[in-house]
Structure 1
Amino acid sequence: MINDIKAEAEKKMKKSLEALGSAFNKIRTGRAHPAILDSVMVNYYGQETPLKQVASVNVEDNRTLLVAPWEKNLVPTIEKAIMMSDLGLNPSTNGDAIRVPMPMLTEETRKEMVKQARADAEHGRVSIRNARRDANSMLKDLLKDKDISEDDQRRGEEEIQKLTDKHIAEVDKLLKVKEEDLMAV
């Protein structure tokens, strides 16, 4: 029973880390990275479809992404979808490919993005702590129902705390990498 609770808590904590990773991918740095366009949805024959399912996204150079649609008639639709996204990017079309230049980040913009990254990291920490709280309350319920002993409960809480510490350290590590990435000129 305790192992099931621990496994469930670890699963929730890993999902929190994954959510944090995708939130960090949406915060663009000065360099071109294909993951920046992961949130862009394209109208593909009446269906909202992720960009990466209708085109290949590659890094052309440090500051430019090259989007190559698999169907040439999608070029204007993809260009419009990138412009309409909240990423602040201005694509340009040349034939059957779309170039997406990454604008230079000002110092003020970088600081705002660092603030956003810190807020996202704090949300990640909170969701990890919520997973810990849920697991600990399940352990207390088992103790109250006399399914486990107090020692088992204490041991379970210690294991869950170790998991929490490990995942929060991972959040801090991801945040540090993102901050360095954002502040690099």
Structure 2
Amino acid sequence: MLAEIFNQCETEMKSSISHMLRDFKTLRTGKITTSVLDNVKIDYYGTMTSLDQVGSILVADATTIVINPWEKNLLQQIDSAISKANIGANPNNDGVQIKLFFPAMTVEQRQESVKQMKGMGETAKIAIRNDRKHSNDKIKKLEKDKLVTADESKSAQENIQKIT
């Protein structure tokens, strides 16, 4: 019973951390990555689809991304979706591919990225604290229901703290 609680707590905490790391990848840093387009979706035959599912996305250099859609009729949709996403670059549609030129980051943009990153980290910390509290509450309930002893409960709560 306690092992299940430990495993579930550890899984939830790892999930919170991996979610935070995924969010970090969407932030723009000095060198551009294709992950800035992860949240950009287009309507592809009635389904909201991410850009990497409808074409190839390549990083041409430190400030340029090239999108080659597999279907040329999607160029306009991709163009408008990128414009609406407000990722800091204007799409350049040449009829065959879309090029995104990202300007160098300003000091303000870097500070904003740091602020967003701190917020994401704080959200992850709160999620981990909630996971720990939820697990400790389960252990206390088991103790209250006399399914574990007080010593086992205290030891289990200390182990949950170590996992954190």
Q: TM-score, normalised by structure 1?
A: 0.84
Instruction: Describe the superposition over 1:102-132 as per-residue Cα deviations: whole angstroms up to 9, x where unpaired.
Output: 2211112211210110111011011001000
Instruction: Tell whether 2:144 aligns with 1:149.
Output: no
* Count of residues in correspondence between the two structures: 164
Query: Who is 1:22 aligned against?
Result: 22
| Contact 1:31 1:102 (8 Å CA) reproduced | no
Query: Who is 2:41 aligned against?
Result: 41
Instruction: Tell whether 2:89 aligns with 1:82.
Output: no
Residues 95-114 of structure 1: pairs in structure 2 closer than 5 A = 95-114=95-114
3-state SS, counterpart of residue 103 of structure 1: coil
One-letter amino acid of the structure 2 residue matched with residue 10 of structure 1: E
Q: TM-score, normalised by structure 2?
A: 0.95
Distance 2:32 2:109 in 1: 16
Instruction: Describe the superposition over 1:18-59 as per-residue Cα deviations: whole angstroms up to 9, x where unpaired.
Output: 221222122111311011101001111232111111111111
Unaligned ranges ≥5, structure 2: none
| Contact 2:20 2:124 (8 Å CA) reproduced | yes
One-letter amino acid of the structure 2 residue matched with residue 162 of structure 1: K
| Contact 1:42 1:77 (8 Å CA) reproduced | yes
Instruction: Describe the superposition over 1:151-177 as per-residue Cα deviations: whole angstroms up to 9, x where unpaired.
Output: 21122112111111xxxxxxxxxxxxx
Q: CA RMSD in A?
A: 1.2
Residues 1-185 of structure 1: pairs in structure 2 closer than 5 A = 1-164=1-164
| 1:86 shift after superposition | 3.1
State the percentage of identical aligned residues.
38
3-state SS, counterpart of residue 66 of structure 1: strand
| 1:74 shift after superposition | 0.8
One-letter amino acid of the structure 1 residue matched with residue 108 of structure 2: E
Distance 2:22 2:86 in 1: 15
Distance 1:93 1:38 in 2: 19
Distance 1:30 1:46 in 2: 36
3-state SS, counterpart of residue 161 of structure 2: helix
Distance 1:163 1:102 in 2: 41
